[in-house]
Amino acid sequence: MTTLTENPRRGVLLRVLPPGLYAGRASKLVERSILAYSRMWLVFASGVLEPLLYLVAFQIGFGRLVGDATGPDGQPMSYVAFVAPALLASSAMNGAVFDSTFNVFFKFRYAKTYDAMLATPIGPLDIAIGEISWAVLRGGLYSVAFFAVMAAMGLVTSPWALLLIPVALLIALAFAAIGMACATFLRSTSQFDYIQLAVVPMFLFSTTFYPLSVYPGPLQVVVQCSPLYHGIQLMRELAVGAMHPGMIGHVAYLVALAVLGIWGAARRLSGLLLR
């Protein structure tokens, strides 16, 4: 007689984490998001459009007035080639932050989607990983489209530039994780101004449009604390193939930010939804 036995193979997280926190079903949230957005492709198109307009403007307009800039390898480069990797990093950031803050806030505060999910085997860490994964996927789609336009405009000149997409995913992961953790603290839609208060200055002042050397010494230290700055520097160095050991520090900063954000989001959801 044949008997049915439970599959003994389980993931490491399922064995280590407390029961109810993680059930290994984070992919179900990504699947849900794909189905929900399958008829809203214009939302994605709008996210790609803004940085592309910036890039075209610098290519045929403002960039012609500025002249060359000094690249991370010390060699002169066109201004549009200097700005393009920074706009790619910003595109990944914007896509991830939007999805991990506004959408998470609506599901958490109004639709009560997560309360319904916790009535199933899905746990708070599943929700955190699933929502962050979807935000990374969205940011990655923006980045791929932007990279394609960069290549079409002749701004991809080094084989190392192919690593811009993985770096864009890392940037999206870091910002999505922190964004979701922050979204759990928001109590009304008016508080989204605080998100913009952080994102917009980061976009404008994290060496997106000019090098770090234009700042006085003390302000340079402040700018270097920005996560977008580390993403932009990593992007620029890869774009021209200026490889050096210091790039590991940029990667480590973004990875640490991502881990902190995932931990914070799961902890907040666990405390708020399992009370």
pLDDT digits (tens, 9 = 90+) for 152-178: 888 888 888 889 999 999 999 999 999
Which contacts of 12-21 are long-range, i.e. CB under 8 A and separated by 24 or more positions? 13/125, 17/125, 20/123, 20/274, 21/123, 21/124, 21/125, 21/266, 21/270
Residue 235 structure tokens: 């992007």
In this prediction, the residues of the chain whose per-residue pLDDT falls under 50 are 1-10, 13-19
Element (H, E) at 30: helix 26-37
Question: Which pLDDT belongs to residue 11?
Answer: 52
Q: Which of 50, 41, 67 is nearest to 149 (CA)?
A: 50
Residue 263 structure tokens: 């931990």
Please check whether residue 102 lies inside any domain of the structure.
Answer: yes
Please check whether residue 128 lies inside any domain of the structure.
Answer: yes
Please check whether residue 266 lies inside any domain of the structure.
Answer: yes
Please check whether residue 201 lies inside any domain of the structure.
Answer: yes
Please check whether residue 86 lies inside any domain of the structure.
Answer: yes
Residue 271 structure tokens: 């405390």
Question: Which pLDDT belongs to residue 2?
Answer: 40
Q: Which of 28, 191, 176, 202 is nearest to 100 (CA)?
A: 176
Helices and strands, counts by H and E, the chain: 13, 2
Question: Which pLDDT belongs to residue 260?
Answer: 93
Please check whether residue 22 lies inside any domain of the structure.
Answer: no
pLDDT digits (tens, 9 = 90+) for 123-151: 888 888 888 888 888 888 878 888 888 88
Please check whether residue 10 lies inside any domain of the structure.
Answer: no
Question: Which pLDDT belongs to residue 227?
Answer: 93
Question: Which pLDDT belongs to residue 254?
Answer: 95
Quote the domain boundaries for residue 51. Answer: 41-273
Q: Look at the chain and report how many structural domains it folds into.
A: 1
Q: Are 265 and 181 in contact (CB under 8 A)?
A: yes
DSSP state of 119: T
